[in-house]
Amino acid sequence: MSQAVATRRSPVSGGTATRAAVLPTKPRTRKAVAVTERATHRFILDGVSICVPGWIVDHTSFRQWFHSDEFPEEGRVSFLNGEVMFDMSREQIYSHNRMKMVISRVLDSLATLLKIGEFYPDGLLISHLGAEVSNNPDGVFVANASFEDGSVRLVEGAKEGFIELEGSPDMVLEVVSDSSVKKDRELLREAYWKAGIREYWLVDGRSEKLDFQILKYTSKGYSPTRMVSGWTKSAVFGKAFCLVATKNQLGHPDFELQVR
């Protein structure tokens, strides 16, 4: 049994924390495509049946799959580091789901108020051909200038209207969960840098001490923006931000993204 198939059939670590499955792609050869053209790799993950066509051998074929009717509607599917990656993990209500909603709400309102671009919440696939990456961030911002100069373009689906963002957005947001630590802190950090994304916002609210970083693009990789008295400046938005942990009326964890 090939390593690719063996990996697809390997059990995923137990518990709800780690339920991401990585599917290495096959070598990019014309022979491999011909041999596996009709093959389908199927596995069950948390009761969900997932089929991966055998003709997916690189980033180009992954995007063809994404634009086809065969692409799965459940879970997050990415092409990252030469692999097809599924993440079926459940979102923690406060440290992940609530966190990304709070940040997205502020950034969307800010982009609208300043009329500087468009902010998109999670669920949007972004792709960069040169970096060979396709992923669904927890948030994406594109400046008007990036649309105008062609750095980013909207890709239309066959039936659904625009469904993909291609190019180098100005900012992406990822909120760390138990199942995405390596992906967010290492794999995506490298991939987003190769894609030329100006700012990578990396947030971890799983502990009492919040980790809020605005990573800025440099020629040698991402570098953390210096925090001054709890505030971090974003060159993309032209504002400083401070992420604060709070409690709601029921005593549950909550968060506030302050802007100045």
CATH of the domain at 120: 3.90.1570.10
Task: Give the C-alpha separation, 256 to 79, whole Å.
Answer: 32
pLDDT of 6 > 90? The answer is: no
Least confident of 51-65, 165-179, 216-230: 51-65
CA dist 112 and 137 (Å) reads 20
Per-residue tokens: 78:
């990415």
66 and 99 housed in the same domain: no
Do 68 and 140 belong to one domain?
no
177 shares a domain with 244: yes
Say how many domains are in the chain: 2
Residue ending a domain, choose from 43, 72, 87: 87
pLDDT at residue 232 tops 90? yes
What's the start-to-end Cα distance of the chain, in Å?
57
Inform me whether the pLDDT recorded for 16 exceeds 50: no
Domain that holds residue 80: 3-87
Residue 81 sits in the same domain as residue 154: no
Which residues lie below 8 Å from residue 88, measured CB to CB, with a gap of 6+? Answer: 19, 20, 21, 45, 46, 48, 74, 75, 76
Residues 69 and 97 in one domain: no
User: Tens of pLDDT along 176-218?
Assistant: 999 899 999 999 999 999 999 999 999 999 998 999 999 999 9
Query: What does the pLDDT read at residue 113?
Result: 97
Question: Which of 59, 87, 115 is the last residue before a domain boundary?
Answer: 87
Q: What does the block give as tokens for 247?
A: 């409690």
Task: Kindly state whether residues 131 and 184 are assigned to the same domain.
Answer: yes
105 and 169 inside one domain:
yes
Of 39, 67, 87, which marks where a domain is finished?
87
75 and 150 both lie in a single domain? no
